[in-house]
A and B are shown apart, each in its own frame.
Chain A
Amino acid sequence: MDARARTQAVKAELAETLLARHPAPAKGAAWAESARDAARARLLAMGGPGRRDEYWRRTDPAPLVDGAPRAAALVLDETPIFDEVDALRLIFVDGEFRADLSDDPTLDGVEIQPLQDALGADIHWAKGLFGALEAAGQDPVARPLAALNTARASEGFCVRVTGKSARPINFRYLHESETSDAVVRHLVRVESGAEVTILENGPAAARINKAMEIDVAAGATCHHVRAEGRDHDRVSASHIFARLAERSLFKSFTLTVNGRLTRNETVVEFTGDEAIGHVAGAAIGAEGFRHDDTVFVTHDAERCESRQVFKKVLKSGAQGVFQGKILVKKDAQKTDGYQISQALLLDEDARFDAKPELEIYADDVACSHGSTCGEVDEDALFYLRSRGVPEDEATALMVLAFVDEAVAEIDDEAIADVIRSRVAGWLDRRVG
């Protein structure tokens, strides 16, 4: 057996192990079972993720796939971040939905149904969507953890937005078991002209595999704001697959503060003209913090606008990765694509790896990307200190300013301010 075959055998064995570790969910309707079977087959064909895969070269996936998760004690020193936002709260503990802790899931303009119920129904709007965006997102890059999620997730929600959602929907994740290993899946369809804001927050589980498929119909709007992290040993792999029809708007922002390993993959496909899709994130961590933003944007329609804005603040051995690609297909004329990834290294032990990519086949586009990595501006720091601002506070001001370009991607100012407060809280504790 040559080296390539040996590698493939190891990957196939890992895929089997991953499937075996997570029990098959209760049987659903035939269409749901068909989607799960297809995902299972995809996973077995591609194999589990390994460091030799180009897509995992900068982030070791081992903590996400090896054995049992490392015990991750929950740190309960802060109130959940979005509790001050008036939202419908749906609470998960160790990856399981807890109706007894949650609000009544009824909301004007929105149909909300637990995943298992939805996938068990013979006729359901999720038919044709469940697993479809994930399957499409496997090309050209294999995303085995997303396939595992489709095959094994039994918890999550199907959300169909038919009007303007009266309140945001807040998926709040908690974990009680120190070694919880959870798989959560959400499906969101925002119908034509409808509008919703989805919030996610919490440390979720010691190890979590989370995925969300979001289908934004013509003229619809979907805002997504996520805050994750807190306890230091948590590991997390998340996927967002978004499909944007004409004149739709999709904006997603993620704040990650601490956690051991976080891999956030976002796959956006523009299928209708004049759609707008922004993906942004701020990640802040120290010591064993490993954070990876991997984004793939495909423009397959005319006059669409995409933005990727990612900021990382790293300290004391923390490592950050950004992999972002804008693919512009040949008919996607007048595409406006923008991508920026920047890291602020607070000391010499931190590290940032970036892999920005553009692949353009249309001839009338405006696309740009940039990536920088640097330290706090000494002159600016001195300027602030010369006015009496202590060094820690001056550094915190600079860090807040640095991440604010990403936070400013959140349209709702109140929610953006909640995020800013959380960043400031972290800086109070960790900078200096």
Chain B
Amino acid sequence: MLEISNLHVKLADEDKTILKGVDLNIGAGEVHAIMGPNGSGKSTLSYVLAGKSGYDVTDGTATLLGEDILGMEPEERAAAGLFLAFQYPVEIPGVGNMTFLRTALNAQRQARGEPELSAGAVLKLIRATAKDLKIDAEMLKRPVNVGFSGGEKKRNEIMQMALLEPKMCILDETDSGLDVDAMKLVADGVNALRDKGRSFLVITHYQRLLDHIRPDVVHIMSEGRMIANGGPELAIEVETNGYADLKLQVA
């Protein structure tokens, strides 16, 4: 599904390299988790994959279903099936959530050569998805993320993911700012979307999210590269002993 090879990335306006040779291969239907201390490059990796400006890829490749995504615009990556659930979803005053969702849904359909959905069909779909995720219909009428609590913002992200039906979902520290109940709701939403044709990359600081979203593979990232790979037990080891031992092993 997603293949990243020897990815090197620096900040566009500074001579500072963030990613120093990331390798990652996520198969169809797999759930991978990336853990790592602050500043290790986890969020940078998610931004670079989604196409955020401000980063220069100096070496390496990233393909989604065999297609090179690094040369694509952010909207092209989305249409190709990539979705990033943001750690801090931005507030957009004045843009209604419903308008935004309808625009995004139809833009992706148009990009894939599918017919646009009528306003009525979109409304029905959005309402049904919101209901499944226990999202208050009032949230749909408000501007995108404006005045949303942390939990509402994250649920809004998961709702977008459910609506847009991407193939590769990246969750960037989706657990941050969530209480246990909200995290369970978010995890339930993710688990409901798991299937053979859809893969997940869950970026997290803590093992607790992985209690709810059981990963197939856990990667540990430090100083811009993967320093350890393993099964779910690796997350428990990190939770128990921290990252220091792993760094020592690598050194």
- A residues engaging B (CB < 8 A)? 377-380, 382-391, 393-394, 397-398, 400-402, 404-405
Q: A378-B53, A382-B53, A382-B74 are in contact. Are A389 and B90 (CB under 8 A)?
A: no
Contact, CB under 8 Å: A389 / B94: no
Chain A residues, Cβ within 8 Å of B164 = 387-388
User: Knowing A378-B53, A405-B94 touch, does A384 contact B86 (C-beta < 8 A)?
Assistant: no
Which residues of A are found within 8 Å of B50, using beta-carbon distances? Answer: 382, 386
Rounded to whole angstroms, the CA-CA distance of A388 and B107 in the bound complex is 6
A380/B78 contact (C-beta < 8 A), A387-B160, A397-B99 known: no
In the complex, how many angstroms separate the beta carbon of A382 from the nearest chain B beta carbon?
A: 5
Does B230 reach chain A (CB closer than 8 Å)? Answer: no
- Residues from chain A with a CB closer than 8 A to the CB of B123 are none
Cα(A377)–Cα(B94), bound, Å: 13
Chain B interface (Cβ < 8 Å from any Cβ of A): 50-53, 73-75, 77-79, 83-84, 86, 89-95, 99-100, 103-104, 107-108, 111, 143-144, 160, 164
Complex contact B94–A400 (CB within 8 A)? yes
**CB neighbours of B53 from chain A (8 A):** 378, 382
Contact yes or no, B92 A391, CB < 8 A: no
A88 to chain B, nearest CB (A): 32
Per CB-CB distance, the 4 closest pairs between chain A and chain B, nearest first, are: A401-B94, A388-B78, A388-B108, A385-B74
CB distance from A314 to the nearest CB of B (A): 18
Q: Which residues of A contact B78 (CB under 8 A)?
A: 385-388
Q: Is the interface of A mostly helix, strand, loop or mixed?
A: helix
**What residues on A are CB-neighbors of B89 within 8 Å?**
383
Query: Chain A contacts of B52 at CB under 8 A?
Result: 382, 386
B94 CB contact (under 8 Å) in A382, A383, A393, A404: A404
Asked if B103 contacts A389 (CB within 8 A), the reply is yes
A residues less than 8 Å from B160 (CB atoms): 387
| Given contact pairs A384-B104, A388-B79, A393-B107, A379 touches B74 in the complex (Cβ within 8 A) | no
With A382-B74, A401-B143 as contacts: A389 and B104 at CB distance below 8 Å: yes
Can you list 15 residue pairs at the A/B interface with Cβ under 8 Å?
A: A380-B91, A382-B50, A382-B51, A382-B74, A383-B90, A384-B100, A386-B51, A386-B52, A386-B78, A387-B164, A388-B104, A388-B108, A388-B164, A393-B103, A405-B94
Contacts A389-B107, A390-B73 supplied; 19 other A-B pairs, CB < 8 Å? A377-B90, A383-B89, A384-B92, A384-B100, A385-B74, A386-B74, A387-B78, A388-B111, A389-B100, A389-B103, A390-B75, A391-B73, A393-B103, A397-B99, A397-B100, A400-B94, A401-B92, A401-B94, A402-B94
Who on chain B is nearest to A383 by CB?
A: B90
Give CA–CA (A400, B51) in the complex, Å.
24
CB atoms of A401 and B74 under 8 A apart: no
In the bound complex, do residue A383 and residue B103 qualify as a contact, i.e. CB atoms below 8 Å apart?
A: no
Question: Smallest distance from the beta carbon of B143 to chain A beta carbons, Å?
Answer: 7
Q: How far is the CB of B63 from chain A (nearest CB, A)?
A: 18
Residues of B near A383 (CB, < 8 A) are 86, 89-90, 92, 144
Q: Kindly state the separation between the CA atoms of A384 and B97 in the bound complex, as whole angstroms.
A: 11
In the complex, the answer to whether B103 meets A397 with C-beta atoms within 8 Å is: yes
B75 and A391 within 8 A (CB): yes
B-side contacts of A382, CB under 8 Å: 50-53, 74
Known: A379-B90, A385-B75. A398 touches B95 (CB 8 A): yes
Which residues of A are found within 8 Å of B107, using beta-carbon distances? 387-390, 393
Chain B residues, CB < 8 A from A377: 90, 92
